[in-house]
Structure 1
Amino acid sequence: MSTSTNEFHVIMVGAGFAMFGTPEGPWNIAKRAEAKLGERLKVDAVIEVDPKRAEAALKIKSEGPHKSSYENTVILPSVAEFKKLVDQGKAPEPRAIFVATPPTVRGSTLPGKDLEIQLNRAFPNVAIFFEKPVATGKPWEESVGEALKVSEYLKANHKAPISIGYVLRYLKIVQQVKKIIEENNLTVMATNARFVVAYELAVKTDWWNKDIQLGPVIEQATHICDLVRFLGGEIDFNTISAHALEAHEKPGQLSKKNFDESVIPDHLRIPRATSASWKYESGAVGIFLHSTALHGTDYEVQLEVYADGVSDPCAPELLVRRPGSDEFEKTVTPGDDAYQTEMNHFIDAIEGGAEPEIFSSYEDAAKTYEMTWVIRNSAENANSKIKEQKGGKSYKLW
């Protein structure tokens, strides 16, 4: 039973799929907060520019097992409006702020895109969880530069934990690979990363328009780009070379789309596959594939990490081949909910709990954002050169 001394007050910024769930995937910040905090959770406000969306989400919550967490939730259009309530003594200062807005309104110091700075000025001592990526904007050089400025601003001015939703870092098998590398004083030699999407339930037209959500490498494959940086180290972005399969090319024709792609101009449709290679600053090498190719609902995410005497293929299970052995040790982690682990770490960082480590900082996430832009640009430049060489005609892959 909650009491006034252990209630955990929060506000939620954004009332979309990432915050309240979707059939398309496991994203659901509210659900993980409920699981971690139980009846202690008190959601004082949902900040949402579309009040009907927030009303629909709260109606479902009012009929669910955690309805007590939402009994006094108000819907407001801005963080500034909630700050007024706090200043007037009508609401307590939150312990945490969860942010799942479109990245187009954050990741910048420019008015209208400076949500992080607004939050810091209103609540400099409140922990914040941001969904990834930290930004999406054009022109890309300006957007990346602005994200790095925000990183420096938060480092200098924010006095509470900040976590970015790069959830793959929290997988048990990923943490085990990290431990093997560190305990054996290994230097990664090579990585091979793959992120393959099941697209049947991806029906939001904006996602398929690379001028709006900037394409799957920046919006989605950012997860696997972040993971290779986490395990392999910093990447020399000048060495990145990429190619993309475009929507108009024959292998890019998809048979299970459940929306009308004809409303999107051909040159703005997302690539169906992107491959890239690079060198790490250490000298190691990496390769990468993102593809929108699978039917059904399950994605395929795989990462192979190689070091002297070590092979660590990560998928739903971990296979480790150690120095001096030809055999693979198999580790299976059924029921591993990395989203829940991520939430647990965030709350523990606030309360001094058992697992207070935050694995993804804003500064780190800004570097991942830059990496995804470099991959997209490299692929588009390569395709442009090929078309020029072919006289502007589409080229054959075989």
Structure 2
Amino acid sequence: MSRRPSELASPTVMRRMSALDSPTSISRRASGTSSRRPSIDPSRLIPIDKATQIGGTTDFNVVFIGAGNIMFGSDEGPWNHSFRFEHKLGPRLKVVALIDPAVERATAVLQKKCETFVRSAYENTRVYKTLEDFVRNMSPRETPRAIIVGSPPMFRGTLQSGRDIETQIMKCFPGVAMFIEKPSATGPASELPEAFAVAKAISESGSICSVGYMLRYLRAVQMMKQIIIENNLTVMATIARYACAYEAIAKPDWWDKSKSAGPIIEQGTHFCDLSRYFGGEVDMSTVNAHSLEWDENAGHLSKMTVDETKIPPENRIPRVTAATWKYDSGAVGSFTHLVALQGHDYSCELEVYADGYQLKLVNPYVQPILYIRRPGSDIEEAHRFPDDDPFFSEISVLIDNIEDIEEDPETATILSTFEDACKTYELTWAIRLSAERNRQAKLDADKAGAAAAKTATA
């Protein structure tokens, strides 16, 4: 997906790069008339160790917002955006600012980077507590080409001061590309309209914006898309299941709905998003869900690593949530999220059905396997995708979109826009609220039944 170094360094290409924020390019992006592919040829999604650094001689300035695990990695998972930027941009990468209120943590991660072979990307990086601090102190040569937002979701996706990072970025750096982690936000459901207002502002600005639903960039997922498109199939149903290994989840906030928004919104969001990616728009009025709660007999967990008694009962998370819905197309969707497994490995699957076809994605987070059953055969084909890195692919596509102003049709479009991410966020909230309504209805019915029985025996 990257261009040849000699081509990127040419005067013609440099002129095209300077046209990033021209009225024509902004209008084209905002109007949705992009000529780029709406999906990606799976053969173009190559492992990170086989990818060549994008060519060019000019610095590519980046601002990182957030100095935590998602940006710099941890032992808990494969997250590490800085690592992918380093491999995509090579010596062109210049991280001009790292923004995080935890200055000591930010300084520590920079020190570690400067002790490695990527020192040139970080040796002049300055740490700031806020975006405003950076704007006040930056020089023109530090103007970013992209801003990467990896701060917690409770600080983004709204129009409220302190929780409006997208709006701040567009105000301070109009036209500059953004990469924003998922989910869109984790505030109360009443703030959903604000998230969509942010999405509308981003769309109207014409700014390139990608949201971190990285599973869309899996080779297996794009192979599924390719089969559906090439065979002109209409999806009939999506069936998703996500079973997490709760023993390995030691963050108290994750177990507290008032802080994490609950496992459907914070964790299951990826599979709700994949379901929408294949099934299309959801009729929100049809969403119906039920939950197994912590205080029910089947909801007891024996190997929790947090003390749940410190969490108010009303904020404790459900152990199982099962939801169904209708898509606008008439297709049916379902999703079951379970806090049930011990150990470390999760168990996750997504099935997509169309006339004559079953596409089953297994273990997408670690070693994806795609099982395909085709018309005229009862045999399942198994396709394995070792060393696939959707985190790298989503960053690679983002940078290709920033660099390729003339919109080469072989460059894939961003697969998850902010507006699309808001629709996934809306679905996850619809599932949580439906489950809570049904739980309350059962409690009310049980209470009424007990009262009636007491009256009858009086």
TM-score, L = length of structure 1? 0.93
**CA–CA distance in 2 between the matches of 1:187 and 1:283?**
10
CA contact (8 A) 2:397 2:414 kept: yes
Aligned partner of 1:206 in structure 2 is 253
Match of 1:12, SS state, is strand
The secondary structure found in structure 1 opposite 2:87 is helix
Q: Are residue 321 (structure 1) and residue 373 (structure 2) matched? A: yes
2:441 aligned to which of 374, 385, 389: 385
1:6 aligns with 2:58: yes
Normalising by structure 2, what TM-score? 0.81
**Compared CA separation, residues 4 and 226, structure 1 to 2 (3 A):** closer
Letter in 2 for 1:111: S
Q: 2:137: which partner in 1?
A: 85
Q: Is the 8 A contact 1:346 1:356 kept in 2?
A: no
Find 1:169's aligned residue among 216, 227, 231. Answer: 216
Question: Is contact 2:186-2:260 (8 Å) kept?
Answer: yes
DSSP-derived class of the 1:192 partner: strand
1:117 aligns with 2:171: no
Within 5 Å, give how 1:201-350 maps onto structure 2: 201-315=248-362, 316-350=368-402
Which amino acid counterpart does residue 273 of structure 1 have in structure 2? Answer: V
Matching residue's letter, 1:113 = R
Match of 1:200, SS state, is helix
CA contact (8 A) 1:344 1:355 kept: no
1:23 and 1:308, CA in 2 relative to 1: closer, same or farther beyond 3 A?
A: same
Q: Which has the higher relative contact order, 1 or 2, with Cα contacts under 8 A spaced 6 or more apart?
A: 2
The Cα of 1:92 is off from its aligned counterpart by: 1.8
2-structure distance, mates of 1:364, 1:209:
27
Distance, in Å, in 2 between the alignment partners of 1:387 and 1:3 is: 62
CA contact (8 A) 2:252 2:306 kept: yes
Distance in 2, matches of 1:392 and 1:98, equals 52
Aligned 8 A contact 1:276 1:288 in 2? yes
- 2:419 is aligned, of 363, 375, 387, to 363
Q: Secondary structure at the match of 2:387?
A: coil
Partner of 2:97: 45
Contact 2:234 2:355 in 1 (8 A): yes
The CA deviation string for residues 173-215 of structure 1, in whole angstroms up to 9 with x for no partner, is 1111111111111111111101111223322211110011110
- Whole-Å separation in 2 of the counterparts to 1:392 and 1:364: 42
Give the secondary-structure state (helix, strand or coil) at the position aligned to 1:6: coil
Tell me whether 1:129 sits opposite 2:179 in the alignment: yes
In the alignment, does 2:147 pair up with 1:97? Answer: yes
Aligned residues: 389
Distance 1:56 1:17 in 2: 13
Counting aligned pairs with the same residue, the percent is: 48
Deviation at 1:295, TM superposition (A): 2.1
| 1:392 Cα deviation after fit | 8.0
CA displacement at 1:393 relative to structure 2? 10
Task: Return the alpha-carbon distance in structure 2 between the equivalents of residues 209 and 164 of structure 1.
Answer: 25
**More deviation, 219-228/343-352:** 343-352
340-349 or 30-39: which moved more? 30-39
Q: CA deviation at 1:2?
A: 11
1:128 Cα shift? 0.5
Unaligned ranges ≥5, structure 1: none
Q: In the TM superposition, what is the alpha-carbon distance from 1:100 to its structure 2 partner?
A: 0.7
Corresponding residue for 1:34? 86
Letter in 1 for 2:202: L
In structure 1, which of residues 361, 371, 376 is the aligned counterpart of residue 432 of structure 2?
376
Contact 1:221-1:290 within 8 A present in 2 as well: yes
Label 1:156 to 1:187 Cα distance change in 2 as closer, same or farther (>3 A). same
Name the amino acid aligned to 2:145: R
Structure 1 segments, 4+ long, off by >6 Å, are 1-4
CA distance in 1, matches of 2:340, 2:227: 33
Q: Which deviations, in whole Å up to 9, do the C-alpha atoms of 1:289-322 show, x marking residues without a partner?
A: 1112222322222100000001001112111111
User: Which segment drifts farther, 320-329 or 384-393?
Assistant: 384-393
- Kindly provide the amino acid, as one letter, of the partner of residue 363 in structure 1: E
Q: 1:4 deviation in Å? A: 9.6
Check 1:20–1:329 CA distance in 2 against 1; reply closer, same or farther (3 A cut): same
Q: Does the 8 Å contact 2:322/2:335 carry over to 1?
A: yes
Long gaps (5+) in structure 2: 1-52, 363-367, 451-458
Do the aligned partners of 1:163 and 1:362 also contact (CA within 8 Å) in 2?
yes
- How far does residue 3 in structure 1 lie from its aligned partner after superposition? 11
The Cα of 1:16 is off from its aligned counterpart by 1.4
